[in-house]
């Protein structure tokens, strides 16, 4: 019996459609199209050491030596930045002071008190 090219193509198509059904049965599908595999992937595959990603946990650089919240804050906000924030906040307080009936509601702030207020808020 001679095997024609059409017969080979048909048998390959049958095999492909069978694999498609098998592949569909190996996966869960959600309504939004996310697919999860029902079985585990092959665990006998060895990951080469040059393909391993190594991430060291913990802080790096200057943050390694920080022991207090104030010191960690100073890594992000320097003294000159804090001084500018205090100056502009005090300008805003001066402009809005006439709107307050009591003087204590429009009291100017100082740099250290502002720092501690922000740290306590977190």
Kindly report, residue by residue over 11-36, the tens digit of the pLDDT. Answer: 445 444 444 444 557 888 888 888 88
> How many domains does the chain fold into?
1
Among 28, 7, 11, residue whose Cα is nearest residue 19: 11
In a domain, 11, yes or no: no
CB 63 within 8 A of CB 75: yes
In a domain, 74, yes or no: yes
pTM over 0.75: no
Condensed to tens digits (0 to 9), the pLDDT of residues 61-111 reads 888 888 887 788 788 888 888 888 888 888 888 888 888 887 777 777 776
Reported as a pLDDT band with limits 50, 70 and 90, residue 119 is low
CA distance 17 to 62: 60
In a domain, 20, yes or no: no
For 87, the token pair is: 């100056």
CA distance 111 to 78: 11
Print the domain residue range for 98. Answer: 64-121
In a domain, 101, yes or no: yes
Condensed to tens digits (0 to 9), the pLDDT of residues 31-53 reads 888 888 888 777 777 766 676 77
In a domain, 26, yes or no: no
CA distance 34 to 75: 42
Residue 60 has pLDDT above 60, yes or no: yes
User: How high is the pLDDT of residue 19?
Assistant: 46
User: How high is the pLDDT of residue 21?
Assistant: 47
């Amino acid at each position: 019996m001679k095997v024609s090219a059409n017969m080979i193509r048909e048998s390959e198509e049958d095999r492909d459609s069978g694999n498609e059904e098998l592949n569909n049965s190996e996966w869960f599908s959600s309504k939004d199209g996310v697919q999860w595999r029902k079985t585990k992937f092959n665990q006998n595959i060895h990951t080469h050491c040059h393909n391993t990603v190594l991430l060291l946990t913990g802080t790096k650089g200057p943050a390694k030596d920080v022991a207090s919240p104030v010191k960690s804050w100073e890594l992000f906000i320097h003294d000159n930045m804090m001084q500018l924030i205090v100056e502009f906040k005090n300008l805003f307080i001066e402009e809005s002071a006439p709107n307050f009936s009591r003087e204590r509601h429009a009291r100017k702030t100082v740099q250290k008190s502002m720092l501690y207020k922000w740290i306590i808020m977190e």
